[in-house]
């Protein structure tokens, strides 16, 4: 992302709500996308796709994302 504000996410969908939760947790932790990706050992392309709700986060990846953001995976899953 080239310094542009993020596109709005439809938080009424499951994927959108999860994307918003991931973004909010990352910002709250004071991490850039690059820093979060390095901690989670995930590519920036995948992270951007998940954080913008372009793709769903694979369940197997949730624990790594949660560790990188300093929370439990359940905190990233809507309605859990």
What is the CATH architecture assignment of 14-76?
A: Orthogonal Bundle (1.10)
pLDDT along the chain (80 residues), means of 10: 66 91 96 97 96 94 97 90
- Quote the pTM value: 0.85
* CB-based burial, 30-51: b 16+ in 10 Å, e otherwise: ebeeeebbebbebeeebbeebb
């Amino acid at each position: 992302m080239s310094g542009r504000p993020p596109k709005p996410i439809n938080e009424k969908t499951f994927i959108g709500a999860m994307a918003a939760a991931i973004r909010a947790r990352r910002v709250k932790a004071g991490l850039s996308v690059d820093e979060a990706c390095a901690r989670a050992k995930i590519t920036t392309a995948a992270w951007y796709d998940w954080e913008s709700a372009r793709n769903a986060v694979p369940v197997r990846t949730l624990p790594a994302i949660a560790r990188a953001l300093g929370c439990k995976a359940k905190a990233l899953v809507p309605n859990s």
